[in-house]
Amino acid sequence: MQYPEPIAKLIESYMKLPGIGMKSATRMAFYTIDMDESDVTSFAKSLISAKRDLHYCSICGNITESDPCIICADKTRDRSKLIVVEQPRDVMSLEKMREYQGLYHVLHGVLSPIEGKGPDDLNITSLVKRLQNDEGIKEIILATNATPEGEATAMYISRLLKPAGIKTTRLAHGLSVGSDIEYADEMTLFKALEGRTEI
């Protein structure tokens, strides 16, 4: 049976989301149709607002409404430490534990020759510029995921920063290999941060 065009388009739209196949997209489409019109309108407005009103911080690359973001603008944060993460959602995960009070830098991905992602495709140039502008950073904490691509990215950045003479550490492997920072609990993240090692 062929779905009416509006449903088919809605299913197609949901299938563009990561991890959503035909079955889940169909279930979500029919759930959306059963929602109150006001809820659907509010949902649509939220999607449009997120796309229009959010952008990347010009300093760290985190997702934000204002530029610079609230973390970069906060003068009370420890400006001697800088955690380098893959995605903005990793910043949110680390902030949840409320133990780290330093700064962040978001790469927006990892090195992946298979996907054609090289150093120029990541937010690495602005990281180097931050260090050249001497913001008082004494330690770079590499917090890429414990995947082959995450490890390769961490090694690339550590070699790139070595001539600058800045202490470069890596999160301890309290995080299980192959896992993502966003799914780790606060205690695991705290232990991983606490047990970081220099590379």
In this prediction, residue 28 has a pLDDT band, given cuts at 50, 70 and 90, of very high
Q: Strands across the sheet with 139-142, in order? A: 103-106, 81-85, 139-142, 167-170, 197-198
Pick the CATH number of 5-53 from 1.20.58.340, 1.10.3720.10, 3.40.50.1980, 1.10.8.420: 1.10.8.420
The DSSP symbol for 70 reads: H
The residues spanned by each domain of the chain are 5-53, 71-198
Go through 41-75 and write b for each residue having 16 or more CB atoms within 10 A of its CB, e for each that does not.
eeeeeeeeeeeeeeebbebbbbbbeeeebebbeee
Residue 38 has pLDDT above 70, yes or no: yes
Tokens of 82: 């800088």
Residue with tokens 């997120």: 50
Average pLDDT, integer, range 49-54: 94
* Helix runs in 35-123, H state only: 37-53, 70-73, 88-96
Of the candidates 52, 51, 90, the one whose C-alpha atom is nearest the C-alpha of residue 71 is 90
Task: Output the pLDDT for position 174.
Answer: 66
Across the range 167-194, mean pLDDT stands at 78
Per-residue pLDDT, 189: 82
pLDDT digits 0-9 by tens, 75-125: 999 999 999 999 999 999 999 988 899 999 999 999 998 888 999 999 999
Q: Which CATH architecture has domain 71-198?
A: 3-Layer(aba) Sandwich (3.40)
pLDDT band for position 73 (50/70/90)? very high
Say whether pLDDT at 7 is over 80.
Answer: yes
Q: How far apart are CA 130 and CA 124, in angstroms?
A: 10
